[in-house]
Structure formats: structure tokens, C-alpha cells
Amino acid sequence: MKFTINGKEFDLRFGMLFLQELDNRYTMKVQGGMEFSMGMKFAIPYLKAGNITALWNVLSAALKSHGIKPQQVEKEIERIAEADAEEGTDKLGELFEELLDEMGKQPLLRKEFSQLEAAEAQVKAEQNA
């Protein structure tokens, strides 16, 4: 998947650097002060919910290996949102969907997606019981 910043296309990379970045951004502290990295476990549901901050975090992490700064990603997201408002489009919504679809195809991310989908299915089954 490609993402354009200032008219230049960049391939999003979902490798180890990406996972490390998300783990650094999404942590959970438990009693006793221990901290656990929760990168993908938090990022995926936030993306599914349309959380703009999660979009920014994920895109920033996927573009880090290109030397793209988070502020550049922020400006592009804001540009897309403003264009949606002016033109009555939903490019931002499409970006969420495309990003989730692409992430689900990535070898290092597939297991995480499968686990979350199984958990979602279990919750739905329990709610319908």
C-alpha cells in the first residue's frame, strides 16, 4: 500500500520497525508497575473504530523507515479530512478500510488479526446466547 505525502508516494512497511514503534506507542501498566507492550492489540480495534490518532500512529510507524516525521503524516491526514469536508467525500474512511485490509495481509500481522477476529466472534456469540 502506498501513502502520498507532499505529492510523493511512499510504500507503507509493516515489518519489525513498525511493530516496535506501535509497541512503544501502545503500552499498558499493571499493578506493581509492570508495563506491557500492546501495539497491535490496541491499534487494530482503534482503527476499526475510526480513531484518527490510531490512524496517525499506524501511518507514522509504517513510514518511519522512510524517514518520514509524524508531523508530516499529521499534516497529510488533516489535508485529507479538510478535502473530505469541502468535497463531501470520505477518503479518510476509505483510508481506514484500505489500511486495515492491507495490514491483515501482512505476514507479521496476520496472527494478530486472526486472534482479534476470533475474540470478536466469541464476544458476538456470547452476546447472542
Q: What is the pLDDT along the chain (129 residues), one digit of tens a residue?
A: 999 999 999 999 999 999 999 999 999 988 888 888 889 989 999 999 999 999 999 999 999 999 999 999 999 999 999 999 999 999 999 999 999 999 999 999 998 888 888 888 888 889 988
Asked whether 22 and 106 are in contact (CB, 8 A), the reply is: no
- Global pTM reads 0.89
Q: How many domains does the chain have?
A: 1
Q: What is the pLDDT of residue 33?
A: 85
Q: What is the pLDDT of residue 18?
A: 96
Instruction: State which residues form the domain around 80.
Output: 2-128
> Taking the alpha carbons of 18, 24, 26, 31 in that order, is the dihedral positive or negative?
positive
Q: What is the pLDDT of residue 32?
A: 83
Q: What is the pLDDT of residue 113?
A: 87
